[in-house]
Amino acid sequence: MWTIKLLRFNQVPSDFHEPFIISGYRSCRSSISSCLVSAIQGSNETINFWTHFIPAMWFGWTTLQQVADGAFIQDPFSWPLICFLLSCVMYLFASAMAHLFNCISLPARYVTFFFDYGAISIYSFGSSIAYCAYTFPPELLHTPLHQVFLVMAMFTAMLSTFLACYSRFSSNHFLCHSGRLPAIMIPYFWCSLPLLYRVIFCVEPDPNSDAALFHVRQFFCTAVTVFFYASRFPEVLAPGIFDFIGHSHQLFHIGGAFSTYWQYHALLLDKAERRQFLVEAVGLPTVAGTAGAFVVVLTVNLLIIWGFSHWVSQPKSLEMVRQRLEEDKREKKGCGCKCD
């Protein structure tokens, strides 16, 4: 009961294969209890789970501490930070759960990763709310970019969820070969635009502030993270060697968690140091521009996830998807593409 049998890639359906990972697979019909056991007994997903579950607990505890502080809740200038923290907890927790429970069945695999993609785009939107409130450079305030920033961030977050879910079924080579990266990068690129402008072109009002340094660390961590995700390094060089420890998805998770950690510290500093200037320039954040917008994006994302989950849970749809993926795989045999 307390041990699970681990399988090689040729003992599980191709839908469950991970590129260049040879062993350490769980059964594709695992029970909930064996999924829980796999969090302790090493499989090729165990470290994927812990590398996002531990940061999820840290951000959850940090959010509770902030919310428990009544003065923090009553201060509208703190609301964007709470939206950001909630989005961090959501994406880290959804990812951890997706890695733990994706082997229950094929529909469960799709559905858990739909939640993962939706939570990542909500995290991008949580970042946009906080960036809009705390990080905008003075040169860009009251410009058309500033005026449409949040509305466009809402749109890109919803588009990202749709494209990321759709990419699991797509026969488009770009979406398929690069995985979810293009879909995930759209809202990240949009929400980072003003901050990139500030880091590259603006002189900080306070030369002793570490905020810009933390923002740069965050960008550096994100770049490293994207490299691991896209390159499948190091397992691409030695398939089978990094199945349990050290494969690219684990490094992707660790880099992402550190990136979020630096982002949080940069936002804390910006919030404290730029408050007076920003409140005088644009006023206090509103309920509609923080919690209201967050709830709208969350609701639309849940509807998109529900739509894809409903579709993929139909036996006919699932069979159609499998046939199409098999056809694509046969067509691309020899080019090295692996569309998981």
Name the site residues for Zn ion (rule: CB under 5 A): 95
Q: What's the closest the beta carbon of residue 7 comes to Zn ion, in angstroms? A: 20
Within 10 A of 286 (CB to CB), how many other CB atoms are there? Answer: 12
Nearest distance from C-beta of residue 200 to Zn ion, angstroms: 30
Q: What are phi and psi of 306, to 5 degrees?
A: -60, -45
For residue 147, the minimal CB distance to Zn ion (Å) is 35
Nearer to Zn ion, 95 or 112 (CB): 95
Cβ distance to Zn ion smaller for residue 185 or 193: 185
d(CA 118, CA 300): 10
Q: How far is the CB of 333 from Zn ion (least distance, A)?
A: 27
Bond preceding residue 239 cis, omega within 30 of 0? no
- Cβ neighbour number for residue 294 with a 10 Å cutoff: 23
- Joined together, the tokens standing for residue 200 give 């590259």
Could you tell me how far CA 172 lies from the centroid of its own chain? 22
309 C-beta neighbours (distance < 10 Å), count: 17
Question: Which CB sits closer to Zn ion, 81 or 88?
Answer: 88
Q: Quick one: residue 240, left, alpha or beta (phi over 0 = left, psi -120 to 50 = alpha)?
A: left
Binding-site residues for Zn(2+), in ranges, read 99, 249, 253
CB closer to Zn ion out of 95 and 121 = 95
Least Å from the CB of residue 181 to Zn ion: 12
Query: Given the complex with Zn ion, which of 95 and 161 has the nearer CB atom?
Result: 95
Q: Which residue is nearest to Zn ion (CB)?
A: 95
Whose Cβ is closer to Zn ion: residue 122's or residue 199's?
Answer: 122
* Helix H or strand E segment including 128: helix 106-134
Q: Which is nearer to Zn ion, 18 or 273 (CB)?
A: 18
Segment (H or E) for 17: none
Q: Give least dist CB 16 to Zn ion, A.
A: 15
**What is the per-residue burial (b if ≥16 Cβ within 10 Å, else e) of 152-166?**
bbbbbbbbbbbbbbe
Q: C-beta of 51: minimal distance to Zn ion in Å?
A: 8
- Residues in the annotated binding site: 99, 249, 253
**Residue 97 or 298 with smaller CB distance to Zn ion:** 97
CA torsion sign, 198 to 76 to 218 to 96?
negative
b/e per residue, 78-98, with b = 16+ CB within 10 A?
bbbbbbbbbbbbbbbbbbbbb
Beta carbons within 10 angstroms of residue 63's beta carbon? 17
Distance (Å) of CA 45 to CA 19, 51, 97, 100, 319: 13, 10, 11, 7, 26
Least separation in angstroms between CB 72 and Zn ion? 31
- Residue 104 is classified by DSSP as S
CB proximity list for 145: less than 8 A, separation 6 or greater: 193, 194
